[in-house]
Amino acid sequence: MRGEDRGSVTVEAALGIGALTFVSALLLAGIGVASDQLRCTDAAREAARLLACGQPARAEQAVREIAPPGARLNIVREGDTITAGVEAEPVAGLLPGIRLRSSAFAIAEPGSGP
């Protein structure tokens, strides 16, 4: 009976290490996604503030600096209201099929232009 069980501990250890590695990778990916979502939110807020002041070039620059790499700025302006949206792929595109989106709303300051 003892000969039949030989190596079973090694197999169980290998499976345990593999499962632990997988769970750790998922945990790190989740932290990366949460961090990138916060960066998108911060970038959208800053872009909306700059757009309300009439500084669209600085708003685009802020998104490039604050948001994750490859993020896009979408601007919707209706009358005096401005909505700045930021969209990006999390964790530098390592998680296919997942897109992060965040938006912020602002009221244009008087004289800030169209």
Q: Which two tokens stand for residue 71?
A: 């993020």
For residue range 77-86, what is the model confidence (pLDDT) as tens digits? 998 999 999 9
pLDDT of residue 102 exceeding 90, the answer is yes
For residue range 21-50, what is the model confidence (pLDDT) as tens digits? 999 988 998 898 999 999 999 999 999 999
Instruction: Indicate whether this model's pTM tops 0.75.
Output: yes
Q: Mean pLDDT for the chain?
A: 89
Which of 29-33, 90-94, 99-103 has maximum average pLDDT? 99-103
Residue closest to 43 by CA, chosen among 106, 91, 104:
104
Question: Cα dist. 5→1, 8, 9, 12, 107 in Å?
Answer: 7, 6, 8, 12, 72
